[in-house]
Amino acid sequence: NAGVTQTPKFRVLKTGQSMTLLCAQDMNHEYMYWYRQDPGMGLRLIHYSVGEGTTAKGEVPDGYNVSRLKKQNFLLGLESAAPSQTSVYFCASSPLGGAGGIDTQYFGPGTRLTVL
Partner 1 sequence: DAKTTQPNSMESNEEEPVHLPCNHSTISGTDYIHWYRQLPSQGPEYVIHGLTSNVNNRMASLAIAEDRKSSTLILHRATLRDAAVYYCIRFNSNSGYALNFGKGTSLLVTP
- Pattern of binders to partner 1 over 9-48, x per CB under 8 A? ----------------------x-x-x----xxxxxx--x
**Alpha-carbon separation of residue 115 from 36, 39, 61, 69, 107 (angstroms):** 14, 15, 17, 27, 23
Tell which one of 14, 28, 62, 102 touches partner 1 (CB under 8 A): 102
Note whether 58 binds partner 1 by CB under 8 A.
Answer: yes
Tell which one of 55, 66, 105, 115 touches partner 1 (CB under 8 A): 105
**Alpha-carbon separation of residue 85 from 12, 45, 104, 105, 114 (angstroms):** 11, 14, 27, 23, 8
Q: Which residues are at the interface with partner 1 (CB under 8 A)?
A: 4, 31, 33, 35, 40-45, 48, 50, 58-59, 90, 92, 97-110
